[in-house]
Amino acid sequence: MTTNKTILRALSGEVLPVPPIWMMRQAGRYLPEYRATRAQAGDFLSLCYNPELAAEVTLQPIRRYGFDAAILFADILLLPQALGMDLWFVTGEGPRLSTITGQADFDALKPVGAIHDTLGPVYETVRILSRELPAETTLIGFAGAPWTVATYMIAGRGTPDQGPAHALKDGNRPLFEALIDRLTEATIDYLSAQIEAGAEVVKIFDSWAGSLKGDDFRAFALEPCRRITQALKARHPGVPVIAFPREAGAAYEGFARATGADCVALDNSVDAAWAAAHVQVDGCVQGNLASRHMVTGGQALVDETRAIVEAFSKGPHIFNLGHGITPDADPENVALMIETVRAGRG
């Protein structure tokens, strides 16, 4: 590729001597500058919907660390809010939503075309970032995958086992399938609007994919990702898609082929050597250092980082964590990780 953006080169299948690097939740509570900006915004949702401040926190880790990509600062639950659901955050506990438990709740959702009325500030954040990011930094947009977003819409909050969503899936299949379909169509439009605003790559976060098994995984994790990816590629040829079916285990194998995704992001429950042999053979992979190393640091961080870089060195690879960085992480450990990854640069 004729680009100096290493993320885009890796996503096109190029094997680079040093993998590009970014980090899930890289703009977040582990950074003092983020905490200061969030306090200025007043609360989390106000930060998400303030384009200037959302762009600022997206830029903060780029200024501090020089990551090869910036990921839009937003939240996966802005989409159900745009579909008409109530959304609020409880300090120390996380998100809360109104719930979908029956047909009447589903019927009250807004049509897909109405989402942009709410999500306009997100697109403005993307436009600001596309102007202000360094020339070599790739801008990544994102959305939650339909299954993961549905788990929150059905339970009204995060749950340890996604039990309420499984119960609706098994007890009222037509309603559940209608919800997944609505979310799939809305996600296509949402990501398409991010691309039109300037996102160069989009990522689909299926944080709870691992709780789906067998036919359910294929129907509600793989198939929606395939539909989203194919629709986006039809509308925006050449824009790469990263899929993250977290904790898919053996089902990571073949996921890129089945969906058309340009890259599969891996959690840290799968061995890098296994993933190189079974997943990277189909194209770019992303990952997969355990987030705990950002807390504990030390030689274990260095050793594991080197091992992952080596394991994926024969194919296209984007270095990342296996999940988002946690608020108790030490910013110095992030710097050590980056230094270790880039040690091969002459």
Q: Report the Cα 114 to chain-centroid distance in Å.
A: 23
Beta-strand pair 138-144/201-206 = parallel
Active site residue 152: yes
Given the residues 34, 49, 123, 152, select the one marked as catalytic.
152
Given the residues 38, 64, 96, 127, select the one marked as catalytic.
38
* Residue type (1 letter), 315: G
* Residue type (1 letter), 298: G
Please give, one letter per residue, the 3-state secondary structure of the chain. Answer: CCCCCHHHHHHCCCCCCCCCECCCCCCCCCCHHHHHHHHHHCCHHHHHCCHHHHHHHHHHHHHHHCCCEEECCCCCCHHHHHCCCCEEEECCCEEEECCCCCHHHHHCCCCHHHHHHHHHHHHHHHHHHHHHCCCCCEEEEEEECHHHHHHHHHHCCCCCCCHHHHHHHHHCHHHHHHHHHHHHHHHHHHHHHHHHHCCCEEEEEECCHHHCCHHHHHHHHHHHHHHHHHHHHHHCCCCCEEEEECCCHHHHCCHHHHHCCCEEECCCCCCHHHHHHHCHHHCEEEEEECCCHHHHCHHHHHHHHHHHHHHCCCCCEEEEECCCCCCCCCHHHHHHHHHHHHHHCC
Active site residue 235: no
Active site residue 328: no
Active site residue 9: no
| Residue 222 tokens, joined | 């793989």
Given the residues 29, 64, 157, 235, select the one marked as catalytic.
29
Active site residue 25: yes
Listed residue (244, 142, 234) closest to 190, CA to CA:
142
Are 72 and 140 within 8 A, CB to CB?
Answer: yes
Instruction: Measure Cα distances from 220 to 40, 50, 176 in Å.
Output: 39, 33, 10
Given the residues 25, 182, 226, 227, select the one marked as catalytic.
25
Give the active site residues.
25, 29, 38, 75, 152
